[in-house]
Structure 1
């Protein structure tokens, strides 16, 4: 059953009770990575294997995301400041016990490529927070695999 989550802003990403930060280097430049994150929303299905549906809704300031395993989310874009940051919060989710979720993709130049830092910030019941912490290794693996797949996709598009 889907339920409304607490409306949070960018400050939540630094202050959430549970924060998981993952980093990865990419060979693609920050502008290309940001464009893939913020503008090619349906493309997420191609490079983030956990995502089975991704589409912009409304005027493009919101998204609908479906995940493998049944997760369903309606999200609001908090910022799409090119090419440095892309962040969004989850407004509606079918995750039991979730109270607030926000994610931030921070992109910094690393030579000709990009240093990607993804922060996954959540709040919820004690059980939800515990499950989120237990899921850290899998979430990290999913992030690293997604970034590698996105890097290959962007390289193929530029050649």
Structure 2
């Protein structure tokens, strides 16, 4: 059953009831990381193991994402500020519990590479918030694995 979430904006990233922030440095430059995040949506399943499909919608203003296990997201891109920030809001999902969900990827130069910071900002029913809190370690591991795979992919493409 599809659930429509609140149409929150970028300010929700700071004001959300629950926020998880993860950071990792990679050797690829910010421009290459940004292009992979924002422009190569079909490539997400190649480096983010939990994603089975990611494709643009609404003439590039949105995304349709499917995860392993069957979770689906229909998203609106809130920020595409090359090469520093890529953020999107979940508008519709089949996942139970969330009322609002925004993800932001921040990219900053780190030597010859990039510091990647991923923020997951969410609000929802108390059971959803509890599950999300308890999932912090797993989400952190998924982020680290994804960013490591992304960096390997980018280095193989340029090397």
- Give the TM bin, normalised by the shorter chain: over 0.9
The answer to whether residue 121 in structure 2 is matched with residue 121 in structure 1 is yes
Q: Distance in 2 between matches of 1:42 and 1:15?
A: 31
TM-aligned CA deviation for residue 95 of structure 1: 1.1
**Cα deviations by residue, 1:74-99 (Å, 9 ceiling, x for unpaired):** 00000010000000000001111110
**TM-score in terms of structure 2 length:** 0.99
TM-aligned CA deviation for residue 26 of structure 1: 0.4
Q: What is residue 92 of structure 1 aligned with on the other side?
A: 92
Q: What is residue 16 of structure 1 aligned with on the other side?
A: 16
Q: What is residue 60 of structure 1 aligned with on the other side?
A: 60
The 3-state SS of whatever aligns with 1:105 is strand
- Structure 1 alignment gaps of length 5 or more: none
Q: What is residue 69 of structure 1 aligned with on the other side?
A: 69
Q: What is residue 158 of structure 2 aligned with on the other side?
A: 158
Residues 130-145 of structure 1: pairs in structure 2 closer than 5 A:
130-145=130-145
Q: Distance in 1 between matches of 2:140 and 2:70?
A: 19
Q: Distance in 1 between matches of 2:99 and 2:36?
A: 28
Q: What is residue 36 of structure 2 aligned with on the other side?
A: 36
Q: What is residue 80 of structure 2 aligned with on the other side?
A: 80
**Cα deviations by residue, 1:30-57 (Å, 9 ceiling, x for unpaired):** 0000000000001101000000011001
The 3-state SS of whatever aligns with 2:75 is strand
- Structure 2 alignment gaps of length 5 or more: none
Q: Distance in 2 between matches of 1:112 and 1:147?
A: 16
TM-aligned CA deviation for residue 148 of structure 1: 0.2
The 3-state SS of whatever aligns with 2:59 is coil
The 3-state SS of whatever aligns with 1:25 is strand
**Cα deviations by residue, 1:1-58 (Å, 9 ceiling, x for unpaired):** 1110000110000110000000000000000000000000011010000000110012
4+ long deviations beyond 3 Å: none
Aligned length: 159
The answer to whether residue 121 in structure 2 is matched with residue 107 in structure 1 is no
